Amino acid sequence: MRVSRIVVALVLVCFVAAFGFAGGEPEAGTVVVYSAGPGGLAEDIARGFEQETGIRVELFQATTGDVLGRLEAEADNPHADVVVLASWPSAFDLYERGWLEEYVPENAELLHEGWNHNNHFFGYSASALGVTYNTERIDDPGSDWGDYTGADFADVVAMPDPAQSGSALDFIAGYVLNYGDDAWDLFEGLVANGLEVAGPNRPALDSVITAANYLVLAGVDYMAYGVMAEGTPVDIYYPESGTVVNPRPAMMTSFARNPENARKFMDYLLSDEAQQFVADSYILPGRADVPAHPDRVGYEDIPVLDLDWDWMAENQSEILDRFQQLIR
């Protein structure tokens, strides 16, 4: 009899472990989130959401390209409930394919103007693209993109590879949209002056930190502010002719297996707490009423190009091909 009671007890323990309850409320379940980082922010948001809701977050973190690749690979057996990317145009293809669910999260009315695409994806945060430079090697960093085609900056300028950095591609597309052939003259001049196309955003920034290069063009600004806060000798500015502020889109999938939990996660992304996590990461909050980190330039003070995201998304592939031909 004693052995039988032990067996029964063990069975109950296993049952509780498997299903999450023992005479009380069941577990709230899970939500599967695919996120293009940055890692620390994604983890803070997942942790905060779990603490607030009791819903466990299954988090996959990677670059935008890797997230999109995983979605494609899983097309016949999808898993993601929520997708967060680092490039606004990257969400357009998912939208056109019918992979996104229409949903208006709480506080969506507080988003910056234009940061909600047909109630299918919204910019819960954003990064701006600037010029980051090593202050120990550069006294006068210039004031605009065209400054870096001259002899003073020969062989010391890097740029993230637009094939690996969606934000860098967005900059190139936005600049071409605004300046046409003059934009291509600039890119040709940069390449002729020894521009190094240095992988994704972080390797490009690291090349400036180590002084392998002295400046990086069109890198995401929050990374620069982060290393500046650690005492690294770099600084950043935004060229006067304009740059791209890239909303980071969040979306609920149309094939979500946990749709109710996905909606709660979308709501949480625009909550006071999550938006403060965004600001603390030196990223621009998606809500216009939430101030940016005090040690960075705010959205309203960044010179921004006139952007047509639909045009940029439609022409991205052709623009990328032309840029890659320049650097071969």
Q: Tell me the pLDDT tens digit for each residue of 40-81.
A: 999 999 999 999 999 999 999 998 889 999 999 999 999 999
Assess whether 319 and 176 both reside in one domain: yes
- Counting Cα atoms < 13 Å in the Cβ hemisphere of 319 gives 24
Q: Which amino acid is at 9?
A: A
| Number of domains within the chain | 2
Assess whether 137 and 241 both reside in one domain: yes
- Please state the length of the chain: 328
pTM summary value: 0.89
Which residues 6+ apart lie within 8 Å of 93 measured at CB?
Answer: 68, 313
Assess whether 139 and 213 both reside in one domain: yes
Assess whether 199 and 265 both reside in one domain: no
Residue 19 confidence (pLDDT) above 60? no
Q: Tell me the pLDDT tens digit for each residue of 68-122.
A: 999 999 999 999 999 999 999 999 999 999 999 999 999 999 999 999 999 999 9
* 46 in Cβ contact with 38 (< 8 Å): no
Domain containing residue 135 = 127-245+303-327
Of 199, 184, 174, 201, the residue nearest 146 (C-alpha): 184
Q: Please give the structure tokens belonging to residue 215.
A: 């400046």
Assess whether 183 and 63 both reside in one domain: no
pLDDT recorded at residue 28: 67
Task: Give CA–CA dist 89/69, Å, rounded.
Answer: 15
Q: Please give the structure tokens belonging to residue 247.
A: 């909303």
Assess whether 177 and 223 both reside in one domain: yes
Assess whether 119 and 184 both reside in one domain: no
Residue 138 confidence (pLDDT) above 60? yes
* The residue to which tokens 């400036």 are assigned: 208
Where residue 110 sits, what CATH number does that domain have? 3.40.190.10
Assess whether 81 and 156 both reside in one domain: no
Q: Which amino acid is at 82?
A: V
Assess whether 215 and 172 both reside in one domain: yes
For the chain, the maximum distance between any two Cα atoms, rounded to a whole number of angstroms, is 90
